[in-house]
Amino acid sequence: MGAIVFAMALLGLFVAIGLAFLWQGKLESEFTAVIYGVEDSLEWVAAALTPGTRAQLKKSDIRRILEHDIRFAQRAFESQDLDGAVVVGGYDSAVFVQQACLDQGHGYDGPLIEEVLERRADYMIAIGAVGLAASAKETAEAYGIDVDAELPSAGDVE
């Protein structure tokens, strides 16, 4: 009889532990938030750069490039009515970063800036802050463009 009680108690303990793990997992899924950490981003980017780029840039250089890219994004979002797309880390961003750095007396070649911005994009994807690039069809559908409509032939266009 004592063995049955012990087995039931042990089974109850296992069920309780299992329920606790399920409950904890549910809480984690409800409260997960993506947090962009400047220092984490800096460390990630510095570690991910190619050896040639890493040899040319100090951490302060990488930080400067990342900070100007964030400023570009802030200005772009503030100045747009959000009907157009703002591409962070794209060509316009790289040009802005390069000019801002030059204005501060720090000249970086375009390929160096591009690599830093590419590695920062990898960091953003890794932490789940952004997803992979949308296809042309997904983008068109997001803007309400009928992607299945046939285009007029050249003779029909006035």
- How much is the pLDDT for 119? 93
- How much is the pLDDT for 84? 57
Give the pLDDT band (50/70/90) at residue 21: confident
- How much is the pLDDT for 60? 95
Query: What average pLDDT does this structure show over 31-44?
Result: 78
pLDDT tens-digit series, residues 45-104: 999 999 999 999 999 999 999 999 988 888 877 776 545 566 667 788 888 999 999 999
- Write out the two tokens for 26: 């549910």
Positive or negative CA dihedral for 103, 109, 110, 114? negative
- Write out the two tokens for 126: 């890794």
Residue 55, Cβ density class (10 Å: 0-12 exposed, 13-18 middle, ≥19 buried): exposed
Positive or negative CA dihedral for 100, 106, 109, 114? negative
Stated pTM of the model: 0.61
pLDDT tens-digit series, residues 132-154: 666 667 666 766 666 665 544 44
